Amino acid sequence: MELIHGSPVNMTGRSDREIRAYSILDRLGVEFDRTDHPEKPATTMEVCNEVDAVLKVRICKNLFLCNRQKTNFYLLLMPGDKPFKTKELSRQMGISRLSFAEEEYMAQFLDVHPGSVSVLGLMNDQGHRVQLVIDEDVLKEEMFGCHPCENTSSLRFKTRDLMEIILPALGVSPILVHLTGAEGE
């Protein structure tokens, strides 16, 4: 794996969703680096660790959640090394019960599939059905890493660009939470 600056010159073999991700970053003038790893899709923590060693970013979990009635959907960004406690997030958000949302909703709202969930998928959520939730610890990092809506490539750009350029351009206002991952939460 190598670090490459900016969008691929040749988009042959890349999905429409990945091309759209590069297109929006380019259109917004967001500087980014990427690494392509089609022979090693980021489906395990081991591969994620390899990718993150190249990108030099902290692993970020992207969890697609919903309420019990499946009427409200959430994309949670949190540090990958922090345990996720559903009860802790539910309590902070004032929601009785959260669970992982089914793949069909992920595809419908974000146009991504499991393993490729990314904050950039919010560009496909024209109806703003998915509320972005960010653990404050993610914002402490200078650089932010994510997939371009496919888990065969990974990107890094400034966290500040995520908050000040990308999310406002998408019309997304995140909810910030402070998760500890502690037992009993």
Q: What is the DSSP letter of 29?
A: T
Give residue-wise pLDDT tens across range 133-168: 999 999 999 999 999 999 889 999 999 999 999 999
pLDDT grade for 48, boundaries at 50, 70 and 90:
confident
Domains in the chain (CATH in brackets) are 4-177 (3.90.960.10)
- What mean pLDDT comes out for the span 28-36? 95
Q: What gap in Å lies between CA 94 and CA 168, rounded to an integer? A: 25
Contact (CB, 8 A) for 78 and 138: yes
pLDDT of residue 74: 97
Q: What is the pTM of this model?
A: 0.92
Top-confidence residue, 131 or 95: 131
